[in-house]
Structure 1
Amino acid sequence: MDELPADRPDRDLLAENRARQRELYGEPLGERVHRLTSGLRITQARLASALGLSPAMLSQLSGARRVKIGDPAVLSRMVALDRRVCRGPVPPDEVAGLLEQIRAGATPWGADGVCSCGGEPVQAAVPPPREPRRPVVPHPEDALRGVIGPARLIAAAAALATSFPELAEVLRRAASRR
């Protein structure tokens, strides 16, 4: 779902796209773009140029009219720039050089997020990885009721009561629960 289909209300789809971006990138891209442009005191067009995107594409991503960054190198440059901005203010006289480093792909950040820019290595402030979404699993008693009726659950409980009293109790609870 990369573009807005004409048959859906824009507001609903934009909300879905932001939620999808949150799943993919940890936050909607509009928040990250705003953090970068305000942190570096640059325009969105200048950020787009440094990342290797057209200003129109960055605008669509930022506004959730598109969901995914298609080029892994662009995403890598955005993450590297975000890591630097999260470390603290970038002096105004260093912004142009930083953007050129990002554009060229020559950044001092490793995949582990450690910056080795002069002095001691500094761990970039990167949000922790998100845990994968767990599927909703029905309660076992609900699952049992979906397979067999209460009378048969009680009969099965009676048959298992002597050998497997724990299972018999689960079956009885499933039969009695509505």
Structure 2
Amino acid sequence: MSVAEDTVARNRALQIEWYGEPLGDRVRPLLDRLGLSQSGLAGVLGLSAPMLSQLMSGQRAKISNPAVLHRLLAVEDLVADPAFDALAAADVKERLEEIKGETAATTSGLRMAASERPGDRPPDEGARPSTPSSERPPEAEPARLVQALLREVASAAEIDAAADLIADRFPDLAEVLRVYGTGRTSEAEAHFARTVLGRLLGDRSVIP
């Protein structure tokens, strides 16, 4: 095996550890579903086309900018939505433009998700026009923030190892690590809706 081939194999192994599978395997289905070129998707993600190509081919291993990973998860979420096939091309284009302008979770975003209800938002935030992202279910943003946090502090392999260590004594906690640490965004949102929103709605006494 040449040095270049060895580098690609090592980088793909790291991508499996960090992202669950090689980035090429995650990105190619998005290109097919969206009908985009690599250059077009790179623009949405905030990468140069050569950089995206290098990540997909394994010449580079890591997405170093958290905002780029955030946008990739958002694009995957868009394509995985059961309603995606019914969207008009103009709606898909509008949603991709929205994703292009999104940033990774920030301290202010974490604070807002943790402490604010929709009615508490300042007027300029509450007055945003209705768009597909503003119609996301209430579990979407908190689930994404937990995902981003776990994936920032540990690799997929480390999260799986931690889950294995505690699975016998703390199975629910192990499930949280696996769902949010290595699962898909849609799985994290479903888990959040089931375990957090479901309990809140079931106990009206805790809702102001």
With structure 2 as the length reference, what TM-score do the two structures score?
Answer: 0.49
Percent identical pairs in the alignment equals 38
Question: What SS is found at the alignment partner of 1:132?
Answer: helix
Cα distance in structure 1, aligned partners of 2:133 and 2:93 = 19
Q: Deviations over 1:128-178 (max 9, x none)?
A: x764348xxxxxxxxxxxxxxxxxxxxxxxxxxxxxxxxxxxxxxxxxxxx
C-alpha displacement at 1:122, in angstroms?
Answer: 8.0
One-letter amino acid of the counterpart of residue 104, structure 1? G
Whether the aligned pair in 2 keeps the contact of 1:21 and 1:28 (CA below 8 Å) is yes
Cα distance in structure 1, aligned partners of 2:4 and 2:14 = 15
Could you say which residue in structure 1 is the equivalent of 2:41?
47
Within the alignment, does 1:59 sit opposite 2:53 as a pair?
yes
Could you say which residue in structure 2 is the equivalent of 1:99?
96
Could you say which residue in structure 2 is the equivalent of 1:132?
160
C-alpha displacement at 1:32, in angstroms?
Answer: 1.3
| Structure with higher helix content | 2
Within the alignment, does 1:18 sit opposite 2:12 as a pair?
yes
Question: What SS is found at the alignment partner of 2:91?
Answer: helix
Rg larger for: 1
C-alpha displacement at 1:118, in angstroms?
Answer: 4.0
Whether the aligned pair in 2 keeps the contact of 1:17 and 1:66 (CA below 8 Å) is yes
Tell me: CA distance 1:77–1:87, structure 2 relative to 1, closer, same or farther (3 Å). same
Could you say which residue in structure 2 is the equivalent of 1:75?
69
| Matched residue count | 122
Whether the aligned pair in 1 keeps the contact of 2:15 and 2:61 (CA below 8 Å) is yes
Within the alignment, does 1:38 sit opposite 2:32 as a pair?
yes
C-alpha displacement at 1:63, in angstroms?
Answer: 0.6
C-alpha displacement at 1:44, in angstroms?
Answer: 0.9
One-letter amino acid of the counterpart of residue 74, structure 2? A
C-alpha displacement at 1:106, in angstroms?
Answer: 7.6
In angstroms, what is the RMSD of aligned CA positions?
3.4
Cα distance in structure 2, aligned partners of 1:103 and 1:119 = 17
C-alpha displacement at 1:31, in angstroms?
Answer: 1.1
Q: Deviations over 1:98-121 (max 9, x none)?
A: 1100111189xx999xx9764866
Give the structure, 1 or 2, with the largest relative contact order (CA under 8 Å, sep 6 or more): 2
Whether the aligned pair in 1 keeps the contact of 2:71 and 2:103 (CA below 8 Å) is no
C-alpha displacement at 1:19, in angstroms?
Answer: 1.1
Flag structure 2 segments of 5+ consecutive residues without an equivalent. 114-131, 145-155, 163-208
